[in-house]
Chains A and B, each alone.
Chain A
Amino acid sequence: MVRRKMNFKDIFLTTLKYAILILLLFVFIVPVLVVFFAAFKTNAEYASTSVLTLPSNFLNFKNFVAAFTEGHMLTGFKNTVIILIFSLAGSVLTGSMSAFVFSRFKSKISKVANFLFLVATMIPMISTQVATFQIINALGLFNTRLAPIILYCGTDIVSIYIFLQFMENIPVSLDESAIIDGANYFQVFFKIIFPLIRPAVATVLITKGVAIYNDFYIPFLYTPDQSLLTVSTALFAFRGPYGAHWEIISAGVILIMIPTLIIFLALQKQIYNGLVVGSVKE
């Protein structure tokens, strides 16, 4: 790198740059931080102190307990975990199997299916729910966990492309040498290709997992039953009964963010990579 002497102008610009970046940190942190403070305040304390004041006792977990039990957040976490496990397993299987056919066989079936997926990228999921709802209803899946699970598995095109991109980089000669050794195509997929696409599996699990965890629209439409609430719809239900209890709503908000924060801190690199890979489909 060309090292230049720092003159006055450079020092000024560098200071300005960090001033802007630090100011922005506040823009992103403060709205969340005040909610974090509120979650530890008692109702009386919340009413009497400024939002920027620290709570008197950071060990006051009463609001969290209320959010968890009375607020049905526990039900929400349970249902979200169930939905996550099944729809992630489903997406990884369907996504990697379709990608295998698209990348290895250039037959007519493969081409037609690939075309169907490509055209579908144009159709925004959100716009077709009016009619999708009728189909889910007709199949008897309304108010069952199967509705979100099937929809999350079925409407996913981005993960196919993540797998496809990865498989294109696995040399076909590897399949061929396995076939010479007497393997059939099922074995090629499950014993050779699948273990090699583990990084892509991780990417799909993370990006898709976050998307499902955060989704509000699908559980809101398809599983309104109280016993089937997910984290999103359980938190949404706080609006009515806790409208005047912002300290409890705040606790719910913080609870829902904790798993996300842990995943982010642990898997930052993979998340960034996943975004970049997922965006450059085709």
Chain B
Amino acid sequence: MEASVKRKKFSISSLTYKQQKILISITFLFVPVLLLILFTYVPSIFMFGYSFTDWDGISPTKNFIGLSNYKLIFSSPDYFRPFIVSLYYIVAAFIQIALAVCISYLISFRCRFANLFKGVYFFPSLINSVAISFIFIFFFRPGSTLDTILKLLGLGKYIQLWLQNPHLINVSLAFVSVWRYIGYDIVMFSAAMQSIPTDIIEAAEVDGANRFQQFIHIIIPGISTILKLLVFLSITGSLAAFEIPYIMTGGGNGSMTFVIQTVNFAFQNYRVGLASALAVILLIISILVFVIQRIVLQSRGA
């Protein structure tokens, strides 16, 4: 009886503030850190382990096979091809960023309906990835949207099999990726441009700088931090391209990306060891890009 009365009296306020700090640190961080370790760190370590085995993902036995998975990936062109495919996405990402900078410049200064333009350009980046994929399967289908528009413009002779031709497919898919994400870049750049003090631009104008000079000497330096950040984000994003090509083509006709290949090996072909090796390679590349990004951003940021 006595004990239970004492229990009731116990409250957090009766602890010293130092004890409270420790109690709160532990209770508040327990779940987030547990989830972080369980679903980010443990998988990374496991994956590293699997990559040296021939495990199929089901059987209880895993045989250690050393670096064989890695050797296989780097020696056979089939496994290596997705790296080349990701180059399409990287080139597209650079074009996307360059275009986004120009468009943001057009809508950020003396532009009527700027919000309407920004809104329409940005909305695709909010659309569900399956919906976007279907919109563009439809768009590229023979005789569908793109072909009809080309005919209407008298450009019918340029009609292609946009998603069947292995030489074109990655260009088509990279276009979809640009269509989807450019609005995000535009929003970021125009926010950065709007934070450039107007008196700097006006002073340059008084001094006789033309628009192009203003763009090169004021606007670009003014958005350099966000520009670098987006360049790095788009490199990692290009290497991890998955949803749109997977839904639109399933990786067929030469559109196999790195992640599609990994997913196929892991969940269809039961070659978890090999898939893990592929994933470890992607992880290492991502970390490298991240480290370079930190170095580049910090060296100028000071």
Does B64 reach chain A (CB closer than 8 Å)? no
How many chain-A residues does the 8 Å CB contact rule pick out?
A: 93
Q: Confirm or deny: A196 has a beta carbon within 8 angstroms of a beta carbon on chain B.
A: no
> Is A131 engaged at the interface, CB distance under 8 Å to the other chain?
yes
What string of 1s and 0s marks CB contacts (under 8 Å) between A104-138 and chain B?
Answer: 01010110010011001111111111111111000
Complex contact A216–B286 (CB within 8 A): no
Q: Are A120 and B36 in contact (CB under 8 A)?
A: yes
Question: Which of A56-64, A166-174, A260-268 has 4 or more CB atoms under 8 Å from chain B?
Answer: A260-268
CA gap between A52 and B153 in the complex, in Å: 13
Q: Is the C-beta of B93 less than 8 angstroms from some C-beta in chain A?
A: no
Query: What residues of chain A lie closer than 8 Å to B66, measured between beta carbons?
Result: none
Q: Which of B25-33, B74-82, B83-91, B161-169 contacts A (4 or more CB under 8 A)?
A: B25-33
Instruction: Assess the B24–A128 pair: CB atoms within 8 A.
Output: no
Contact residues, B106-143 vs A (CB, 8 A): 106-107, 111, 115, 117, 119-124, 126-131, 134-136, 138-139
Segment touching A, from B2-10, B214-222, B275-283: B275-283
Q: Mark B137-178, 1 if CB is under 8 A from A, else 0.
A: 011000011001100100000000000000000000000000
* Known contacts A124-B286, A189-B24: A117-B47 contact under CB 8 Å: no
Partner of B242, one of A17, A117, A217, A271: A217
Q: How far is the CA of A179 from the CA of B24 in the complex (A)?
A: 15
Contact: A31 with B136, CB < 8 Å? yes
The answer to whether A276 touches B145, judged by C-beta atoms less than 8 angstroms apart, is no
Over the window 231-267 of chain A, the binary record of Cβ atoms lying under 8 Å from chain B Cβ atoms (1 yes, 0 no) is: 1110110100000001001101100110011011000
Residues of B within 8 A of A232 (CB): 128-130
Give complex CA distance A113, B41 in Å: 13
Given contact pairs A94-B32, A120-B41, A135-B38, A28 touches B179 in the complex (Cβ within 8 A): yes
The answer on a CB contact under 8 Å between B240 and A126 is: yes
B57 near A: Cβ within 8 Å?
yes
Which residues from 119 to 165 on chain A have a C-beta closer than 8 Å to any C-beta of chain B? Answer: 120-135, 150-151, 153-155, 160
| Chain B residues in the interface with A (C-beta under 8 A) | 11-13, 15, 17, 20-22, 24-26, 28-29, 31-33, 35-44, 46-47, 50, 57, 103, 106-107, 111, 115, 117, 119-124, 126-131, 134-136, 138-139, 144-145, 148-149, 152, 179, 183-184, 187-188, 191, 198, 202, 205-206, 211, 226, 229, 236, 240, 242-243, 247, 259, 262-263, 266-267, 272, 275-276, 279, 282-283, 286-287, 290
Instruction: Give A contacts to B, CB under 8 Å.
Output: 1-2, 13, 17, 20-21, 24-25, 27-32, 34-35, 38, 50-52, 94-95, 97-98, 100-101, 105, 107, 109-110, 113, 116-117, 120-135, 150-151, 153-155, 160, 179, 182-186, 189, 210, 213-217, 221, 231-233, 235-236, 238, 246, 249-250, 252-253, 256-257, 260-261, 263-264, 268, 271-272, 275-276, 279-280
